[in-house]
């Protein structure tokens, strides 16, 4: 029987490798640097507002985050923060970019299996172009992927463009990711399959109430290792 699913797309951050915990940890250290000006909760809230406000201009990813930290430090201190603190913020940012790439459990095994079974595997991720390329290289997973798509946004139209470009009909595409908002809902809208694999830490901006989500092409699993089994079930229908 022919496989219905031919191409499987994987989100990268917090789907293939750990990411959000590093941002979380950096945010904690950023709060400590600014503890003279405001309690952590308030710093964090302003940082989030600044980040979201800057998305149209800066987009996603590590460099945007660093610029938003600098801006937040200026705002929370009413332009009183010292140059030494700004210096430390830039260092926090460089540390963040240089973090090791830590694969999530089961990722290598499942990619290896799907690759052997001749599925065309792609990475479809937001974020910083160079940063994501570097993480992929460091991950040692590059060889499994036929194509890497780094997107400035992950809305339905962005996926549509990608599938056209790859010449894949939506019903043959399955997207795997930890963000309902960015990885799952847009592809369901196109008629593709979405495999939602929640990660224990999710950036607030990606959070969505999942209580009333129900769609025949949406599958939720607790680990990426269930994908081959899901594909078998999908093909039996």
Residue 25 Cβ, how far from its own copies at the closest point, in Å? 19
* Phi and psi torsions of 12, nearest 5°: -105, -70
Residue 215 Cβ, how far from its own copies at the closest point, in Å? 30
**Do residues 51 and 39 lie in contact, with contact meaning Cβ atoms separated by under 8 Å?**
no
Residue 98 Cβ, how far from its own copies at the closest point, in Å? 8
Give dist(CA 94, CA 88) in Å, integer: 10
**Do residues 51 and 68 lie in contact, with contact meaning Cβ atoms separated by under 8 Å?**
yes
**Any contact of residue 128 with its own copies (CB under 8 A)?**
yes
**Any contact of residue 64 with its own copies (CB under 8 A)?**
yes
Binding its own copies (rule: CB under 8 A), the pick from 4, 6, 58, 217 is: 58
Binding its own copies (rule: CB under 8 A), the pick from 79, 209, 212, 222 is: 79
**Do residues 193 and 187 lie in contact, with contact meaning Cβ atoms separated by under 8 Å?**
yes
- Which residues in the chain belong to E strands, given as ranges? 7-10, 120-125, 147-150, 173-177, 193-196, 218-220
For its own copies, the closer CB: 21 or 59:
59
Residues in binding contact with its own copies, number by CB under 8 A = 34
Binding its own copies (rule: CB under 8 A), the pick from 102, 152, 155, 223 is: 152
């Amino acid at each position: 029987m022919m496989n219905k699913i031919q191409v499987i797309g994987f989100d990268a951050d917090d789907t293939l490798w750990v990411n959000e915990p590093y941002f979380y940890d950096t945010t904690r250290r950023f709060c400590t640097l600014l503890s003279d000006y405001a309690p952590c909760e308030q710093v964090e809230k302003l940082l989030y507002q600044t980040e979201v406000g800057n998305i149209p201009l800066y987009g996603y990813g590590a460099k945007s985050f660093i610029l938003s930290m600098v801006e937040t430090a200026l705002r929370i201190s009413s332009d009183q923060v010292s140059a030494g603190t700004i210096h430390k913020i830039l260092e926090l940012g460089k540390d963040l970019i240089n973090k090791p790439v830590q694969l999530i459990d089961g990722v290598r095994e499942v990619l290896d299996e799907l690759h052997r079974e001749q599925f065309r595997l792609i990475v479809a991720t937001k974020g910083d172009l160079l940063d994501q390329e570097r993480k992929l290289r460091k991950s040692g997973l590059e060889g499994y992927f036929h194509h890497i798509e780094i997107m400035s946004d992950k809305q339905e139209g962005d996926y549509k463009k990608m599938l056209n470009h790859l010449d894949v009909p939506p019903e043959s595409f399955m997207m795997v990711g930890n963000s309902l908002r960015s990885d799952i809902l847009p592809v369901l809208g196109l008629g593709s399959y979405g495999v939602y694999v929640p990660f224990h830490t999710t950036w607030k901006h990606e959070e969505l109430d999942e209580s009333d989500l129900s769609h025949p092409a949406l599958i939720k699993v607790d680990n990426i290792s269930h994908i081959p089994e899901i594909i078998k079930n999908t093909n039996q229908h």
